[in-house]
Amino acid sequence: MTKALYILISVACIFAGSSCNREELSETFKANGSENADLKNYTAENINTTEFVSWCADEEHKLNKVKVISEMRYNLSYIPAQAMAVLELRTEEHDFSKFKTVSENYSLMSYFNFRIQIINGKGELLKHQLSSPAQYEARVKYFSFEMEKDICLVQGKDTIYPGLFQFERIFEVAPYATVIFAFDNKMFNKNEEFTIVYNDKVFEKGFIKFNYKNKQLINLPNITEL
């Protein structure tokens, strides 16, 4: 498993909402040198890395968007570069200067965690309302290689497609699927309002839209320590 893939899977766990309980979150933070994994909504301007990841992962926070259509729940979460850096460095001895360097590397793109879930469902999401084994294989292929073509960022007259995409396949474990995707920050303005759109062709729910308002991705707490 490549380092990049490992980090993306870690991101999918931390930002997947109810699938990761507080004990799992606590174990992640212990590896970063802290046992404080309280998921309260931090309002302080200056917080440490443990608090920052908790702040970002909070389902009630503005970085997380939810749409419910019929039996389906769609959850989109923005993952700041600093949170990506925390997850990459969590098993290493590191200092603040290294953290800042890794954060700058991730700042070239804007990362999002996207989950599709059957509300009150059981079994694998890709088998929901399945008509044949062939349809299942088609869904696996779609989520792995074609879904990214149906995700875009719309800002003004510009339509931007992901520059990075990763599908996390979990088989029979839970009734949801998670993907991570990212957009090149040179192609859109994070200060201005934009909308991320997903065209759900698999479950035929149409266009799912998540709107981010002006400066919503940049008005974040300051990280002051590791």
Task: State how far the Cα of 84 lies from the Cα of 105, in Å rounded to an integer.
Answer: 10
Instruction: List the beta bridge partners of residue 129.
Output: none
pLDDT in tens, 132-178: 999 999 999 999 999 999 999 999 999 999 999 999 877 666 789 99
pLDDT in tens, 14-73: 555 444 433 333 343 333 333 333 334 444 468 888 788 888 877 666 788 999 999 999
pLDDT at 30: 38
**Domains contained in the chain, number:** 1
Full residue range of the structural domain in which residue 104 is found: 3-223
This prediction has a pTM of 0.80
DSSP-derived 3-state class of residue 100: helix
